[in-house]
Structure 1
Amino acid sequence: MKNELQRKMVRERYGEIALTSGKCCKSHEKEAGDTKDLSLTMGYSEEELRAAPDGANLGLGCGNPTAIAQLKAGETVLDLGSGAGFDAFLARNQVGAAGLVIGVDMTSEMIEKARSNAEKQGYSNVEFRLGEIENLPVADAAVDVIISNCVINLSPEKDKVFREAFRVLKPGGRFHISDIVRLAGEPTENGHKDPKICNCIVGAERVDRLERLLDDAGFENIRIKKTETSDNLLKAWENSDLPLEHVVSAVMEGRKPV
């Protein structure tokens, strides 16, 4: 019941965002020009921002997972919580016509928006599937790389997310995730009842616990590191109502053993 309540709040809020192109919290309440500035703060380049279809970038991330993933032509990439498709579209440019990008999101409005963006551009190497990241609609050992941008913190069952990620990766497959993590303290008590769970801070987990969950799922070469852009991003959020103490934007990386 607790987990479903949290999912319901997240699904409804992000459904509203998809329909209105609104933002998830005060930190993200930006006009189009400010969305661009915020995205630059997250580590995206001007070229990447120009390459994405109109309406794909809602300014909801906390990093640039495609910049750290070192994607190769022909790879199959899975984007967890793909939203309107921004990172998936950037990834498809890197994997090329021989590659495939699969976006999974639990919000039907986001899936519709992403599919519309892809159809308008005539993209044939990217697809979007409705589903939960704790129960991925993806076959075993089907993808080479997993990316995600500020989504894992929203899950009430992060252990399931990591186990599912391990399941769908090919042996030797890797993940490169941007997310908000906690250096100290605890996730907000009763966060599953707090509408602010959607702001990427309330559900942020401690680094040591994330490392343990990833290890328990079977991953190796685990690395969780504060990003170079974290201070600038949190500074951009400092006039918001977010509880920013003890949190940073971080990169999470790991590999499934061969």
Structure 2
Amino acid sequence: MTTNTLFDPRELESRVKTMYCEVAENPHGEFHFEMGRGLAERLGYLADELDRVPAEAIESFAGVGHHFDLAAPAAGELVLDLGSGSGMDTFIAALRVGPQGRVIGIDMTDAQRAKAERLRDAHGFGQISYLKGYIEEVPQPDASADAVISNGVINLSADKPAVFREIARVLKSGGRLAISDIVAERELPEGIVCNPTLWAACIGGAAQQDAYREMIASAGLRVVEMRDNPAYRFISENAQAACRKYGVKSVSVLATKA
């Protein structure tokens, strides 16, 4: 696809599904991003919790930050994970909410959900359920979630304001949004934004960070904290170049619903 071709969200969806099917089925393959336990620990995940999570889920972990200290899931709560992938964050959340809590993972990629469901059943995480869905149209009722989490996924959406409106809709009053995502310090040029390969690699969809914050606020959520994640490293040449030129980086965000 040439850089002056109009952006096609359907092509983006196809590229993303193909890439994350590979992430689920061949986690030791070559990707534009780092994966696995070493990444998770460097980002801030606790080793003792990772020891209690299915190793196959950790192998397919492709997150960009850590935000469980911000989300602070408590016993008995309902946590919703948008773009739950092979399930590592849903398993971590399940440890936090306990057997009386619930965790619901939403993902559009069949192979990712199938892997997560297999691991859930094999390891006895009965409080987790997985649903096929899109983060722009979350299949959950209004005011149903205590916390919404997401890791490296919202940047892949072509309609981020819709994502944040959906998050605000499903959160209870006083609920928390805690996410890690890719943003840019400066607005990206059309040649990057219109390239679906760079979107699928978590670069092309990086919103300018002030605009990203404003999208969250416009949805009716109060941004409490936005912090950089310097431990996250881009590994492809394109990503590293974008990082240097446009300040593309990982951040974690905490926001609350009044």
- The reply to whether TM is greater than 0.5 is yes
Given the superposition, is the C-alpha separation of residues 176 and 44 from structure 1 closer, same or farther in structure 2, using an over 3 Å criterion? same
Q: Which residue of 2 aligns with 1:139?
A: 141
Distance 1:240 1:49 in 2: 30
CA contact (8 A) 2:81 2:148 kept: yes
| Displacement after TM superposition at 1:75 (Å) | 0.7
Q: Which residue of 2 aligns with 1:49?
A: 50
State the SS of the aligned residue for 1:21. Answer: coil
CA contact (8 A) 1:23 1:60 kept: no
User: For structure 1, which runs of at least 5 residues remain unmatched after alignment?
Assistant: none
Q: Which residue of 2 aligns with 1:14?
A: 20
Distance 2:188 2:236 in 1: 22
| Displacement after TM superposition at 1:6 (Å) | 1.4
Given the superposition, is the C-alpha separation of residues 206 and 24 from structure 1 closer, same or farther in structure 2, using an over 3 Å criterion? farther
Once the two structures are superposed, the pairs formed by residues 115-130 of structure 1 within 5 Å of their partners are 115-130=117-132
Distance 2:195 2:17 in 1: 14
Given the superposition, is the C-alpha separation of residues 42 and 187 from structure 1 closer, same or farther in structure 2, using an over 3 Å criterion? farther
Q: Which residue of 2 aligns with 1:204?
A: 206
Q: Which residue of 2 aligns with 1:103?
A: 105
Q: Which residue of 2 aligns with 1:26?
A: 32
User: For structure 2, which runs of at least 5 residues remain unmatched after alignment?
Assistant: 1-6
TM-score using structure 1 length = 0.89
CA contact (8 A) 2:216 2:223 kept: no
| Displacement after TM superposition at 1:41 (Å) | 1.6
Q: Which residue of 1 aligns with 2:249?
A: 248
Q: Which residue of 2 aligns with 1:233?
A: 232
| Residue type of the alignment partner of 2:253 | M
CA RMSD of aligned residues (A): 1.9
CA contact (8 A) 1:3 1:192 kept: no
Q: Which residue of 2 aligns with 1:82?
A: 84
Q: Which moved more, 1:43-52 or 1:179-188?
A: 179-188
Given the superposition, is the C-alpha separation of residues 189 and 159 from structure 1 closer, same or farther in structure 2, using an over 3 Å criterion? farther
CA contact (8 A) 1:143 1:173 kept: yes
Identity of aligned residues (%): 34
Structure 2 residue 217 is matched with structure 1 residue 215: yes
CA contact (8 A) 1:16 1:22 kept: no
TM-score using structure 2 length = 0.89
| Displacement after TM superposition at 1:193 (Å) | 3.7
CA contact (8 A) 1:100 1:125 kept: yes
Distance 2:53 2:178 in 1: 20
| Displacement after TM superposition at 1:202 (Å) | 2.1
